[in-house]
């Protein structure tokens, strides 16, 4: 996606990309069970914990956080319509009092240092870079505060050449689990655990996405930018179906040192 936006990086193309994802509850791979597993691995948080969900999208992870934790959540995304989706989900689920939304850049969130018990970000830290995100968010945490993020990662020692070539173009910063754990430590965290998201988490994302591709094609049949977006996602889907054992999303869990 990043390479595709670089190639046609106009305001219109970015707006069209947001439009593509509008209405999709999940904007990336994940599941309630994986989010719960991450929280369980981190252990008990303080009562009335302050949680920040960066790149929250429509709130798939925020809903699990609200359902699972005694907390107040600040859900941050750069795209206001996604936040409005989240607010509607929160109202329907009875969490309006537990979740506040804030439109901001995750690299400059205007949150006071030392005020957060848990930072979460599922499928979004790549927007500013794994290392940059970890370093930028570390000062926000209170002593002993935790972080839980998912990052696209090489999970095979011998990834397919086709996958290497595809992701070299789409996400050249992709690293291995070992490299990312070392990055987490150097950014000021004690590693609390990690695990690879299961294939079902990808299906949770890709099955609705395939339907969206068909609808988007019908709506924007004559638009060359839309065709670029559609083709990019079709290639990504085909890559995962064929070579998804080479890479995956990994939950990285840490505690402020």
3-state secondary structure 13-34: HHHHHHHHHCCCCCCCCCCHHH
Q: Which two tokens stand for residue 144?
A: 């002993």
* pLDDT score at 12: 75
Q: What whole-number distance in Å separates Cα of residue 6 and Cα of residue 4?
A: 5
Q: What is the mean pLDDT of residues 75-94?
A: 98
* pLDDT score at 7: 44
* pLDDT score at 212: 97
Q: Are 106 and 127 in contact (CB under 8 A)?
A: yes
146: pLDDT strictly greater than 60? yes
Q: Are 253 and 146 in contact (CB under 8 A)?
A: yes
Q: What whole-number distance in Å separates Cα of residue 141 and Cα of residue 52?
A: 10
Q: Residue 108: which CATH number?
A: 3.40.50.150
pLDDT digit string, tens, across residues 148-203: 999 999 999 999 999 999 999 999 999 999 999 999 999 999 999 999 999 999 99
Q: What whole-number distance in Å separates Cα of residue 80 and Cα of residue 78?
A: 6
* pLDDT score at 98: 98
Q: pLDDT grade, residue 9 (50/70/90)?
A: low
Q: What whole-number distance in Å separates Cα of residue 254 and Cα of residue 257?
A: 9
Q: What whole-number distance in Å separates Cα of residue 116 and Cα of residue 140?
A: 6
Q: Are strands 247-256 and 116-121 parallel, antiparallel or unpaired?
A: unpaired
* pLDDT score at 28: 97
Model pTM score: 0.94
* pLDDT score at 3: 43
- Annotate 163-209 with DSSP letters as a single string: HHHHHHHH-TT-EEHHHHHHHHHHTTEEEEEEEEPPHHHHHHHHHHH
19: pLDDT strictly greater than 50? yes
80: pLDDT strictly greater than 80? yes
Structural domain range at position 88: 2-256
pLDDT digit string, tens, across residues 200-247: 999 999 999 999 999 999 999 999 999 999 999 999 999 999 999 999
* pLDDT score at 1: 46
- The SS3 assignment for 137 reads helix
Q: Are strands 189-196 and 175-176 parallel, antiparallel or unpaired?
A: unpaired
Q: Are 151 and 125 in contact (CB under 8 A)?
A: yes
pLDDT > 70: what percent of the chain? Answer: 96
- The SS3 assignment for 242 reads helix
Q: pLDDT grade, residue 5 (50/70/90)?
A: very low
- Average pLDDT of the residues of the chain: 95
Q: What is the mean pLDDT of residues 32-56?
A: 98
Domain count, the chain: 1
pLDDT digit string, tens, across residues 97-139: 999 999 999 999 999 999 999 999 999 999 999 999 999 999 9
The dihedrals phi and psi of 128, each to the nearest 5 degrees, come to: -115, -5
């Amino acid at each position: 996606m990043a390479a595709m936006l670089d190639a046609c990086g106009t305001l219109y193309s970015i707006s069209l990309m947001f439009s593509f994802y509008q209405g999709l509850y999940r904007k990336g791979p994940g599941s309630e069970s994986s989010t719960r597993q991450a929280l369980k691995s981190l252990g008990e948080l303080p009562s009335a914990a302050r949680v920040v969900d960066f790149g929250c999208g429509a709130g798939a992870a925020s809903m699990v956080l609200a359902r699972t934790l005694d907390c107040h959540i600040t859900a941050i995304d750069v795209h206001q319509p996604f936040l409005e989706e989240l607010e509607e989900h929160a109202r329907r689920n009875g969490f309006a009092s537990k979740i506040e939304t804030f439109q901001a850049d995750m690299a400059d969130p205007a949150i006071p240092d030392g005020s957060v018990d848990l930072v979460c970000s599922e499928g979004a830290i790549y927007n500013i870079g794994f290392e940059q995100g970890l370093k930028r968010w570390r000062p926000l945490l209170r002593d002993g505060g935790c972080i839980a993020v998912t990052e696209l990662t090489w999970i095979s020692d011998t990834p397919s050449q086709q996958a290497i070539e595809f992701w070299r173009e789409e996400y050249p910063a992709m690293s291995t689990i070992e490299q990312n754990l070392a990055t987490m430590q150097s950014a000021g965290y004690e590693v609390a655990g990690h695990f690879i998201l299961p294939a079902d988490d990808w299906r949770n994302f890709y099955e609705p996405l395939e339907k969206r591709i068909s609808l988007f094609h019908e709506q924007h049949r004559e638009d060359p930018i839309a065709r670029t977006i559609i083709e990019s996602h079709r290639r990504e889907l085909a890559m995962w179906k064929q070579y998804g054992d080479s890479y995956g999303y990994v939950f990285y869990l840490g505690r402020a040192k």
